[in-house]
Amino acid sequence: VRRVAVALLHHPVLGRGGEVLTTTLTNLDLHDMARSVRTYGLQALYAVHPYPSQRLLAERIRRHWVEGAGGKRIPDRAVALAVLEIVPDLTQACARLGGEQVELWTTAARATASPVTRYADARRALEGDGPPVMLCFGTGWGLAPALIERADVRLEPIHAARDSAYNHLSVRAACAITLDRLFG
């Protein structure tokens, strides 16, 4: 089976005005996405942040739950948070997962000009052999377009079968739904 991991990017992502910026960490994202990554048996959750102070914070959160008092009190959280790895950029996340041949797969609520891959096709691609896959999720107003454009696979946006005219999920919900569609 292919090695698959999730990357949670705080840069390069969009801001409200469409500018590329860096967002701050959200504690809840780390907890919820680690639980999903652990549940679906993926390799790791990479929290990607360019600022050393933010990486330090993520490391402290991880340590508290995996080795510290938190993990002793709530052991099932320790098991989940153990999948968390903290890296400064996507290149380092890919290096840890499997070197240069890692495929980048992106997610987005909005359709892009470039072609997208249906979940059924993506699921089939993951069943066979192939290079490792990094599933990328954005914060802020979503992954920067340049990253989406250079991705090997752009997953189709998640939306309801009925027309609800809205599909802006939290990154935590989008991650859980994506993993269930691909591995559930």
Which residues here bind ligand SAM, judged by CB under 6 A?
107-109, 137-143, 157-159, 167-171, 174
- Pairwise CA distance, residues 31 & 36, whole Å: 9
Closer of 27 and 170 to ligand SAM (Cβ): 170
- Shortest approach of ligand SAM to residue 117 CB, angstroms? 12
Which amino acid is residue 3, in one-letter code?
A: R
What residue spans of 40-170 are helical by DSSP H? 52-66, 69-73, 75-81, 90-98, 119-127, 145-149
- Shortest approach of ligand SAM to residue 177 CB, angstroms? 8
Closer of 84 and 108 to ligand SAM (Cβ): 108
- Shortest approach of ligand SAM to residue 2 CB, angstroms? 20
Helix (H) / strand (E) element for 20: namely: strand 20-21
Closer of 124 and 168 to ligand SAM (Cβ): 168
- Pairwise CA distance, residues 11 & 9, whole Å: 5
Q: Look at residues 137, 11, 126, 33 and name the one whose alpha carbon lies nearest to residue 83.
A: 33
Closer of 4 and 171 to ligand SAM (Cβ): 171
φ/ψ (deg, to 5) at 77: -75, -30
- Shortest approach of ligand SAM to residue 59 CB, angstroms? 21
- Shortest approach of ligand SAM to residue 44 CB, angstroms? 17
Closer of 30 and 78 to ligand SAM (Cβ): 30
- Pairwise CA distance, residues 105 & 75, whole Å: 32
Residue nearest ligand SAM (C-beta atom) = 138
